[in-house]
Amino acid sequence: MAEVKLNGISKSYDQGKTWIIKDVNLEIHNGEFVAFIGPSGCGKSTLLRMICGLEDITTGEMHIDGELINDHPPHERQVGMVFQSYALYPHMTVAENMAFGLKLARADKSIIKQRVDEAARMLQLEPLLERKPKAMSGGQRQRVAIGRSIVQEPRVFLFDEPLSNLDVALRVQMRQELSQLHRRLKTTSIYVTHDQVEAMTLANRIVVLSPLQPGAKTNLEQVGGPLELYHHPANLFVAGFIGSPKMNFLNAELQQPGEEWSTIKLTSGETLKVAANTSSSACGSQVIIGIRPEHVLLLPDKKQDQTEKDNTVIATVSTLERLGSESFIYLDHDSVREYLIVRVTGSGLQNENDKLGIHLPPKQCHLFSAEGLAFSRTHKPELNTCQS
Amino acid sequence: MGDETCSQSAKSDQNGKSWLAIILVGLIDIVLLYGITLMYAQGEIAFALLTLFLMACGSWVFISQRGYCYRYVFPGLLGVFTFIVFPLLYTINIAFTNYGSNNLLSLERVREIHLAKTYSSGDGSWGFRLYQEGGGYHLVLEDNDGNQFETLSFGELFEPVSIQAAPLKPDSAGTTGTPLSMREIIKQRSSLKQLTIIMPDGTGLVLAGLRKFGPLSKIYEAQTDNPLILTDTRTGETLYPDMNSGFYTDGTNEVGPGFSVYTGWKNFNEIFSNPGIQGPFFKIFVWTVIFSALSVVFTLIIGLLLACLIQWEPLKGNGLYRMLLILPYAVPAFISILIFRGLFNQNFGEINMLLELLFGIAPEWFSDETLAKSMVLIVNTWLGYPYMMILAIGLLKAIPDDLYEASAIDGATPWQNLTRITIPLIIKPLTPLLIASFAFNFNNLVLIALLTGGGPDLLGATTPAGATDLLVSYTFRIAFESYGQDYGLASAIATLIFLIVGLIAWLNMRVTRRMQEG
Amino acid sequence: MAMVQPRNLKYRVWYARIALWLFLALILFPFLMIISVSFRSGNFATGSLIPENPSLEHWYLAFGIPWENPDGSVTEPFFPVLLWLWNSIKVAFFSSILVLMLSTTGAYAFARLRFKFREHMLTAMMILQMFPAVLALVAIYTLFDKIGDYIPWLGINSLGSVTIAYIGGIALHIWLIKGYFETIDNSLEEAAAIDGATPWQAFRYVLLPLSVPILAVVFILAFIASIGEYPVASILLHSMDKLTLAVGSQQYLNPQNYLWGDFAAAAILSGLPITIIFLACQRWIVGGLTSGGVKG
Ligand SMILES: Nc1ncnc2c1ncn2[C@@H]1O[C@H](COP(=O)(O)OP(=O)(O)OP(=O)(O)O)[C@@H](O)[C@H]1O
Ligand SMILES: [Mg+2]
């Protein structure tokens, strides 16, 4: 159990010509379960590998329990790592795989046996101890990989997309097992994934990373609890990355800044009211409105007079995706770059090329500046309300 | 990244063993330094430098943390450097000298040899008596003043020996054993000629006639102002080293042994202008190219056809055919080549026996130029086609079956299949291999050395050269065949071959790279 | 190759078979002949392909046993074939071990470690590999002559010299092993590093056990190559008891002392084990050749 502290961590593979990771500051508390999430290639694995010592830290300081570990080789850091490919030693049995590290450390035979047995019991691996990895299923291998780090009693567990090689059903099951394991062992854990659901369900806190944009100061976008990221994304990147399908973004300009309510005008002309604090911005500046598909409301029917209602726009149905219990309606609207997506429960009964009136509830809207930073929201987000 | 990762790995591999390593490296270095000093003292500058260089690299790699990664490659590189790179450079160096069996030594050694040459000068003489005692002999010498000296005992001698003599004690009279008669002394003359008797005052005596020994004098002495020039003490003539020919000369005659000197481009000029070398060299060069190209073509055609054939499923028993067809490759080449040498033998060979039986002819495989060349090609094709077949099988397996199925629907014949699908698809990955095969055959010394030894001999060559000789075997013969080993010339030809091989290697790299890209 | 050719397939198969058999007869002729010669009495062709009165004369001599002729005279074995075979095996075995050790460690570094000049070293090695040792024989001779002044058992006319001279040819093997290492998941060694293994331990306990197949291939390739090596051995070895088979065998066919029959028996005796090893490992060797060849 330990605290991990990252202080201005940066990484470059080519002596500073291009940076993969820049200026990441992060404090992970004792017993916490933290997930790193971000699109492919943004440097999640690299960051994790720097924590366990498989990659050099180009600049910055890394502490575990207050101890500077920049120059420690991997095994001195006392961390355990579970690889995406499991990395089980193919020529050793499960028991040997788990005991390898202890043997290298010249631990007592009895201690090795005791720890291996205990881990095997915890992970229900007892009947498999004498098998070779080749003769096991993906889920079993996964457990062995976890067992291998458990026996070392590491201060921190590191997982690099441990579930991505499993099928969906197994992934759900293993997710729950991991969650239980963490509740039992309470070891500080860092978990890399690109699956939001995994991150949201497992983690106490989520770290969102983005591919480093040229000129950006850092590629750490936001750190926070799962719901915090959902409801209060700090910027456009996080807003767009968290949630599925993606949040809708509508281009607009600020018509009347305000501390509690702001009025904006879409590029297509409609005026909307949003519960966000824009007092620091000037009238007329470019802004972006964000609203999640599940928060957009459909008006009962396409009556013309509803245009007059607050926060309503008219859009044309482009495509429909009907999943049975819910449907996604893709709408064309001039202020949106691609589509405006609306989620409705039930099988959407609309047709293509229908004109629909949609309501954007002011308290569910997010507002971002042209630079992509979020204006703080002034009202507690209302509970998700969906309609058919 | 570079060094970072390297020293990073090193950090985790240091647990107190470093002191041991340093001590070990230190010990090895001390031994090597001793050796280097010896080499330097003997004038082996090149080898001393080589060892010093390698030692320095080795020490750094095994002591410094930054050298950690190189520890894994150092031993291998050491081997490559010592047995490939160094010989290569050394050979190029020799190409500019006249190093060879006539000019083997360094100038200093030759000078020492001249300075050590002696003759019996004849001033003062010692009469002698030869005594036999059991199986051994000894001499009693007497100078003009009647002083007598007795030598230690010696047996029958076949090579020069020097033995000590001591004053004969008057009472013992030197008479242990029987004095031999003149006739018997003549019998022992060859032994006596080998003797140098060292007198108590240090002068050496040698046989100077049938009845007397005379003192030895040095023939040459070095001039004081120029120690390289030697003066004949008998005639006063001077002998000076000719730095062009690599011999000591008095102006008209060369006095052996020769020493090796740098002769600049002489060996290369020789290759291109001396008709006795130039003629054979170009003939051999052309033949080498033809031989390599034809070998590649023949083995490729046969290998490819066989590969197609035994990949053909309806044939059945493909595995067995494959094994039998690979057999020529599985038997060590030196054995197969010698078998062919026996089978093709003009008089006792089974091939001629069969031909005689069937057609009544007995071709002279080893003395007719064209026949010898065809024989070499036949044998090399026999030896080489399995390799091509193996490669072709590997490449053919990579061609998806559905291509042939598609072409069958279009009604293609097997021949069209081969030329339209198979060959275009495998020619790309095959090209670098064909170039490598060309290079291999270009240097196929074993075949020629064991099969024909180069023969039949070419006419008008001043160096050993034969009709079937390849450039390598030609080089090999110039360097190592018994008459007049000329290392310098051989190395010059080798240097030219290096250039050709380098060209082929470069070509191969380019082709490979292009193949990987496209 | 699946050729879809239902019509007259049967005839085609038979044509192919007959062609193949004729070709095989041609190819195997030398081997059949040499077997026949080894059982023929005397050293000169007697006019028939199948020996009329087979004799074991040559086989006795090949095994080093004196042969008593029908007329009572005794023929002593001319050449110590078994000793030569033994020399060849010793040289091949030790040089292959050396080659294996050096090329494995080298390949590990090239496959896994990152250091300066890595690419350059690799390219240089591949190019150097093309230069045959044959061309530098004078230098090699001089080199071993000099080494012999300090370390006699590595000097001229010692088996040690030939053994270590073969170390030069490791580039191809490094390439082969490196290719194999690269197919092994790197995270295995990373896992080992986290488990507390030093790079050496990760190499020794994880990578090596997984690479046994390729190491066997390299060993066999190196072994066969050094058994058959002629030029270097022929200049470094002189005395009858130090020769390797490749250098010694040709003495049988010296025109002044033509021992065709003795050669036949000796050739079979010494060639057979090597051929059998080759055929037994055919699959791996072929795999190694094609992959190494196609890559390099
Ligand atoms: N050894 C290396 N040398 C150079 N660049 C590298 C190296 N390893 C990774 N990178 C680069 O670093 C970036 C981050 O890679 P990383 O593996 O950390 O991404 P990731 O976030 O884990 O992606 P994924 O979700 O696909 O696993 C990538 O752009 C990759 O190309
Ligand atoms: Mg990753």
CATH of the domain at A286: 2.40.50.140
Q: Is the four-CA dihedral B483, B486, B487, B489 of positive or negative sign? A: negative
Last residue of a domain, one of A190, A211, A237: A237
Report how far ligand 1's centroid is from the alpha carbon of A47 (Å). 10
In 3D space, the residue among B377, B387, B381 whose CA is nearest the CA of residue B307 turns out to be B387
| pLDDT over 80 at B515, yes or no | no
Nearest CA in chain A to B14: A73
Contact B390 C286 (CB under 8 A): yes
Site of tokens 């994790």: A48
Per CATH, B118-218 and B270-517 having the same topology is answered no
- Atom of ligand 1 at shortest range from CA of A49: 18
Q: Which residues of B touch A74 (CB under 8 A)?
A: 12
SS3 at position B87: helix
B427 → chain C, closest CA residue: C294
Query: A153-157, A231-235, B274-278, B402-406: which has the minimum mean pLDDT?
Result: B402-406
Residues A9 and A130 placed together within one structural domain of the fold: yes
Question: In the predicted model, is pLDDT for residue B313 greater than 80?
Answer: no
CATH number at A119 reads 3.40.50.300
B66 Cα distance to chain centroid: 39
pLDDT given for residue C95 in this prediction: 95
Q: Which residues contact B224 (CB under 8 A, 6 or more apart)?
A: none
Nearest by CB: B338 against C17, C165, C250: C250
What are the b/e assignments for C191-201, b being 16+ CB within 10 Å?
Answer: bbbbbbbbbeb
CA B511 to CA B174: how far, in whole Å?
A: 87
Q: What is the pLDDT of residues B21-77, one digit of tens each?
A: 888 888 988 998 988 888 888 777 878 888 898 899 888 888 887 888 888 888 888
Task: Encode pLDDT of B150-164 as tens digits.
Answer: 888 887 777 778 888
B5 touches chain A (CB under 8 A): yes
pLDDT at B316 over 90: no
Q: What is the pLDDT of residues B191-249, one digit of tens each?
A: 887 888 888 877 777 777 777 787 777 777 777 777 778 887 777 788 888 887 788 88
CB contact under 8 Å between C188 and A54, yes or no, is no
Average pLDDT score, chain A = 88
Give the angle subtended at the CA of B259 by the CAs of B254 and B262, to the nearest 5°: 110
With CA atoms as reference, the chain A residue closest to C187 would be A87
Average pLDDT over residues C230-252: 90
Average confidence (pLDDT) over C57-78: 82
The answer to whether residues A194 and A317 belong to one domain is: no
Could you give the CA distance from residue B277 to residue C120 in angstroms, rounded to a whole number?
39
If asked whether residues A288 and A214 sit together in one domain, one would say: no
Q: Where is pLDDT greater, at C73 or A333?
A: A333
Q: Return the DSSP state at A14.
A: S
The arithmetic mean of pLDDT across residues B347-365, rounded, is: 86
Distance CA B393, CA B303 (A): 9
Q: In the prediction, which pLDDT does B17 show?
A: 63
**Final residue of a domain: which of A204, A237, A270?**
A237
Mean predicted confidence (pLDDT) in C202-221 = 88
CA–CA distances in Å: residue A329 to residues A171, A270, A357, B14: 29, 21, 12, 63
Whether residue B456 has a cis bond before it, omega within 30° of 0: yes
| Chains in contact with chain A (at least 3 beta-carbon pairs closer than 8 A) | B, C
Whether residue A217 sits in one domain with residue A257: no
User: What is the arithmetic mean of pLDDT over C69-74?
Assistant: 79
Residue C156 main-chain phi, psi, to 5 deg: -60, 150
Q: How much is the ipTM here?
A: 0.88
Judge contact between A168 and A113, C-beta under 8 A. Answer: no
Query: Number of C-alpha atoms within 13 angstroms, CB side, residue A105?
Result: 20
pLDDT of residue C116: 84
Touching subunits for chain B (3+ Cβ pairs under 8 A) = A, C
Helix/strand/coil for B506 = helix
In this prediction, residue A387 carries a pLDDT of 43
Q: Is residue A378 part of a domain?
A: no
pLDDT over threshold 70, residue C290: no
Query: Per-residue pLDDT for B11 more than 70?
Result: no
If asked whether residues A361 and A336 sit together in one domain, one would say yes
Mean pLDDT confidence for B285-308: 93
Does residue B173 surpass a pLDDT of 60?
Answer: no
The rounded distance, in Å, linking the Cα atoms of C150 and B109 is 19
- Give the integer Cα–Cα distance in Å for C191 and C206: 10
Residues A214 and A262 reside in one and the same domain = no
User: In this complex, do C185 and A87 lie within 8 Å of one another by their Cβ atoms?
Assistant: yes
The amino acid sitting at C56 is L
| The pLDDT of residue C292 | 47
Residue A244 in this model has a pLDDT that exceeds 90: no
Q: Report pLDDT for A130.
A: 92
Mean pLDDT along residues B321-336: 90
Residue whose CA is at the smallest distance from ligand 1 atom 9: A46
Q: How are beta strands A205-209 and A262-266 bridged, if at all?
A: unpaired
Q: Which residues contact B362 (CB under 8 A, 6 or more apart)?
A: B346, B352, B355, B356
Q: With contacts defined as CB-CB under 8 Å, which chain B residues touch A14?
A: 1
- Using pLDDT thresholds of 50, 70 and 90, give the confidence band for residue B171: low
Q: Which residue CA neighbors atom 8 of ligand 1 most closely?
A: A46
The minimal CB distance from C134 to the residues B82, B409, B476 is found for: B476
Q: Is A101 on the interface with C (CB under 8 A)?
A: yes
Q: Is the pLDDT of residue B332 over 70?
A: yes
Q: Domains in chain A: how many in total?
A: 2
Q: Which helix (H) or strand (E) holds B173?
A: none
Q: What is the pLDDT of residue B382?
A: 95
Cα(B507)–Cα(B499) distance, integer angstroms: 12
Which chain B residues touch C225 with a CB distance below 8 Å? Answer: none
| pLDDT for position B399 | 81
A139 Cβ contact partners less than 8 Å away, ≥ 6 residues apart: A166, A170, A173, A174
Does residue A113 form part of some domain?
yes
B1 CB neighbours in chain A (<8 A) are 13-14, 56
Contacts of C195 in chain A (CB under 8 A): 75, 100-101, 104, 148, 152
| A165 and A264 co-located in one domain | no
Please tell me the predicted confidence (pLDDT) of residue B14: 53
Q: Are A340 and A315 in contact (CB under 8 A)?
A: yes
Per-residue model confidence (pLDDT) at position B1: 38
CB-based contact A137:A169 (threshold 8 Å): no
Q: What percent of chain A has pLDDT over 70?
A: 95
Rg, Å, chain C Cα set: 25
Give the residue with greater pLDDT, B129 vs B325: B325
Chain A residues whose CB is inside 8 A of the B5 CB are 56
Q: Give CA–CA dist B117/C282, Å, rounded.
A: 64
A212 and A134 within one domain: yes
Do A321 and A360 sit in the same domain of this protein?
A: yes
Closest CA to B376 of B466, B476, B447, B436: B447
Other beta carbons less than 10 A from residue C250's beta carbon: 20
- A375 within a domain of the structure (yes/no): no
For range A340-352, the mean pLDDT = 83
Residue of B nearest to C114 (CA): B2
| Confidence at residue A330, expressed as pLDDT on a 0 to 100 scale | 92
Question: With pLDDT > 90 as the criterion, what percentage of chain B qualifies?
Answer: 15
Selected residues 6-65 of chain B with any CB under 8 Å from a CB in chain A = 8, 11-12
* Interface contact B449-C234, CB threshold 8 A: yes
Pocket test for ligand 1, best of A17, A44, A58 (most atoms within 8 A of CB): A44
Please give the average per-residue pLDDT across A315-320, as a whole number.
Answer: 89
**For ligand 1, which residues put their CB under 6 angstroms from it?**
A 13, 20, 38, 40-46, 194
Q: Which helix (H) or strand (E) holds B379?
A: helix B369-397
Residue to mutate among A81, A148, A192, with most C CBs inside 10 A, is: A81
Tell me if B76 sits within 8 A of C174, measured CB to CB: yes
Residue for token digits 């456009």?
A236
Q: What is the CATH code of the structural domain delimited by B270-517?
A: 1.10.3720.10
Mean pLDDT, chain B, as a whole number? Answer: 83
**What is the pLDDT at residue A32?**
94
b/e map C114-129, b = 16+ CB within 10 Å:
ebeebeebbeebbbbb
For chain B, give every domain's residue range. 2-72, 107-114+220-255, 118-218, 270-517
Do C145 and C156 touch, CB atoms closer than 8 A?
yes
Distance from CA of C120 to the nearest CA of A (A): 19
Mean pLDDT of chain C: 84
Question: What number is the average pLDDT over the span A165-169?
Answer: 86
pLDDT of C170 reads 86
For atom 25 of ligand 1, the residue with the nearest CA is: A40
- Contact at 8 Å (CB) between C217 and C255? no
- pLDDT tens-place string over residues C127-149: 887 787 788 888 898 889 888 88
When scoring C116, C185, C187, C194 by the number of chain A Cβ atoms within 10 A, the one with the most, hence best to mutate, is C194
C171 pLDDT above the threshold of 60: yes
Distances (CA, A) of C209 to A89, A141, C181, C203: 10, 20, 11, 9
CATH fold label, B118-218: Periplasmic binding protein-like II (2.40.430)
How would residue A388 be classed by pLDDT, with cut points 50, 70 and 90? very low
In angstroms, the separation between the Cα of residue C50 and the nearest Cα of chain B is 11
Per-residue confidence band for A368, with pLDDT thresholds at 50, 70 and 90: very high
Tens of pLDDT, residue by residue over A99-130, are: 999 999 888 999 999 999 999 998 889 999 99
- Residue C196: list chain A partners with CB under 8 A: 74-75, 101, 104-105
Same domain, A94 and A144: yes
Q: What span, in angstroms and rounded, lies between the C-alpha atoms of C294 and B433?
A: 7
A51 and A105 both lie in a single domain: yes
For residues A99 and A219, membership in a common domain is answered with yes
The proportion of chain C whose per-residue pLDDT surpasses 90, expressed as a percent, equals 21
In which domain, by residue range, is A311 found? 245-369
pLDDT of residue A386: 42
Q: How confident is the model at residue C293 (pLDDT cuts 50, 70, 90)?
A: very low
| Nearest CA-CA distance, residue A313 and chain C, Å | 53
Q: What is the pLDDT of residue B193?
A: 78
Task: List Cα–Cα distances, B36 to A188, B40, B52, B53, in angstroms.
Answer: 60, 6, 7, 11
User: Is the pLDDT confidence value at C295 over 50?
Assistant: no
